[in-house]
Amino acid sequence: MELTSSAFRAGDMIPSTYTCDGQDISPPLSWSDPPTGTISFALISDDPDAPRGTWVHWVIWNIPTSARALEEHFPKTAALPNGVKQGTTDFHRVGYGGPCPPSGTHRYFFKLYALDTTLNLPSSTTKKDLEKAMQGHILAQTELMGTYRRR
């Protein structure tokens, strides 16, 4: 699997549209074919350069196996009709929260996981909860990293 975005290339600056300096909407993400046996996908986005430790920007799971993308400006709702669920970020809300580093250039990782199951988790689920629930169910994983520095 390979995770890409039409908004930025791996290692490049994330456009301000997808940050707290812009519209704070999620960037478009797409991925290539997952391994056989994939039942669902999960995605975690975080910033390991945050001053107080890794800051979590997005927690999402039960993305259908037929999906090969998350559209730009993904809805910030806990549950979608197709079964997709979103958890709580370090912004204390559900859904995507864009880069907003207090100083310097930070790295933002979008980590996609192909899972052999779906997960029954509440919207209060955090990154740590999702990682625990995924243990033993990850068939493959990939990541895309972009950077951002506030003006």
What tens digit of pLDDT does each residue of 1-54 get?
999 999 999 999 999 999 999 999 999 999 999 999 999 999 999 999 999 999
Exposure b/e, 37-49, CB count within 10 A at least 16 = b: ebbbbbbbbbbee
For the chain, the domain total comes to: 1
Q: What is the pLDDT of residue 130?
A: 98
Residue pair 26/58 in contact by the 8 Å Cβ criterion: yes
Residue among 115, 108, 145 nearest 130 (CA): 115
pLDDT at residue 56 greater than cutoff 90: yes
Q: What is the pLDDT of residue 151?
A: 80
What CATH number corresponds to the domain at position 125? 3.90.280.10
Domain housing 24: 3-149
What percent of the chain is modeled with pLDDT above 70?
Answer: 100
